[in-house]
Amino acid sequence: MANLRKRLSTNVDGNFFVDSTCINCDTCRQLAPASFQEKGDYSSVYRQPENAGEELEAYRALLACPVGSIGAVKKEKGHLTQATESFPHHLEGGVYYNGFNSEKSFGANSYFLHHPDGNWLIDSPRYSPHLVDAFAQMGGIRYIFLSHEDDVAEASRYAKRFNATRIIHQADSEAMPGAEWIVSGSDPVPVAPGFYLIPVPGHTPGSMALLYNNRYLFTGDHLWWDRESRTLQAPSVYVWSDGSLHQSTQGLLDLRFEWVLPGHGDRIRLPGPEMKAALHRLLKRWSDTADRRA
Ligand code: SF4
């Protein structure tokens, strides 16, 4: 619950505000870019919502904020209910963004995949009764894919509630004691028709991506879209091994996908050839940097 007494001075006057407990995770800026902006080490409201759509976005950001740093001086109950019911938020096909980001994963995005052979949770949101009900109504959760050790959040509680199988790579498995399915090695693993687990060591030794239907690539913290530079990005800090990171990214050129759905950073959909070109540009930036250092 945001605290008015901690309201940051960088907020513009008006109903919505961010307080000084913000951890600068970017979630609100992804969900409500018309209202939230980075200012110094925090997010702030730079413009109050000006129409019903922007107001709904601001309420969605308020709900998704992992640490409750977003407040509304006067909460419109109807809008809050509407925002709650908008999660999980449908993206395309059977893919949803869950909202309710967890502080335990530093506000990472998590996803739900509705599938006739059993649903998937991709990384974990915070444990929310609203999401539990929504997942139950869509048939529960069969698998919980954990992209890496940082984003397990409340996976155990969801696994217990839905009797789900937690999948994590052996190299990151200490983060998820009792995980039912431990992946090892560096080769892609077919897990179900249309689903491949893709080890992408680099950010952590056990980072993995999940490829679904040669269209959706859930990337954890391995790869994301940057809305300002309009480029694909990979971690430059908190990297376990640069060499592995580059090799893993190079390996993605062998895959076909049109969506990048990350934990941190923006998601993006591009036609396949454009996605591949964006990946080539990322690799070229790395090789140019290496040449300059040589
Ligand atoms: S979602 Fe919350 S913690 Fe994250 S940047 Fe926005 S206000 Fe800060």
Q: Which pLDDT does position 290 carry in this prediction?
A: 79
Domain ranges of the chain: 4-84, 87-293
Asked if residue 292 has pLDDT above 90, the reply is no
Q: What percent of the chain has pLDDT over 70?
A: 100
Task: Output the residue whose Cα is nearest ligand 1's atom 4.
Answer: 25
**pLDDT at residue 221, as a whole number:** 97
CA 74 to centroid of ligand 1, rounded, Å: 19
> 30 C-alpha to center of ligand 1: Å?
10
Buried b (16+ CB within 10 A) or exposed e, 5-25: eebbebbeeeebbbbebbbbb
Ligand 1 centroid–CA 217 distance in Å is: 25
Give the residue-averaged pLDDT of 155-176. Answer: 98
Minimum-distance ligand 1 atom for the alpha carbon of 29: 6
Q: For residues 142 and 209, give the distance between their C-alpha atoms in angstroms, rounded to a whole number.
A: 18
Is 4-84 a domain of CATH 3.30.429.10? no
Structure tokens belonging to residue 221: 């913290």
Q: In which band, very low, low, confident or very high, does the pLDDT at 270 lie, cut at 50, 70 and 90?
A: very high
Residue 291 has pLDDT above 90, yes or no: no
Residue 22, pLDDT score = 98
Q: Report pTM.
A: 0.96
Tens of pLDDT, residue by residue over 169-185, are: 999 999 999 999 999 99
| 18 has a pLDDT exceeding 80 | yes
Q: What pLDDT, on the 0 to 100 scale, is given for residue 149?
A: 97
What six digits make up the tokens of 6?
Answer: 């901690």
Provide mean pLDDT across the span 34-43.
Answer: 97
Comparing CA positions, the residue from 222, 208, 215 lying closest to residue 263 is 222
pLDDT of 294 strictly over 80:
no
| Average of per-residue pLDDT values in the chain | 97
Strand partners, 212: 195, 216
pLDDT number for residue 61: 98
Q: How far is the CA of 142 from the centre of ligand 1 (A)?
A: 30
Residue 274 Cα, ligand 1 centroid: separation in angstroms? 31
Q: 223-248 pLDDT, tens per residue? A: 999 999 999 999 999 999 999 999 99
Q: Are 105 and 152 in contact (CB under 8 A)?
A: yes
Nearest CA owner, ligand 1 atom 2 = 65
Q: Report the atom number in ligand 1 closest to the C-alpha of 107.
A: 4
The mean per-residue pLDDT over the stretch 247-272 comes to 97
Q: Tell me the pLDDT tens digit for each residue of 62-110.
A: 999 999 999 999 999 999 999 999 999 999 999 999 999 999 999 999 9
Sort 251 into a burial class: Cβ within 10 Å, 0-12 / 13-18 / 19+: middle
Q: Tell me which of 11, 26, 126 to substitute to probe ligand 1's pocket, judged by most ligand atoms within 8 Å of the beta carbon.
A: 26
Ligand 1 cavity residues, CB under 6 Å? 18, 22-28, 43, 65-67, 69-70, 107
Instruction: Give the sign of the dihedral formed by CA 184, CA 252, CA 234, CA 247.
Output: positive
User: Rounded distance, CA 12 to CA 8, Å?
Assistant: 9
Report the pLDDT value the prediction gives residue 124, as an integer from 0 to 100: 98
CA of 273 to the centre of ligand 1 (A): 34
Q: Which atom of ligand 1 is nearest to the CA of 67?
A: 3
Q: Mean pLDDT throughout 157-163?
A: 98
- Residue with CA at minimum distance from ligand 1 atom 1: 65
What local confidence, expressed as pLDDT, does residue 220 receive?
98
87-293 belongs to which CATH class? Answer: alpha beta
Average pLDDT over residues 274-292: 93
Q: Can you tell me which atom of ligand 1 is nearest the CA of 64?
A: 1
Residue with CA closest to ligand 1 atom 6: 28
Query: Is residue 293 predicted with pLDDT exceeding 90?
Result: no
How much distance in Å is there from the Cα of 37 to the middle of ligand 1? 10
Residue 192, pLDDT score: 92
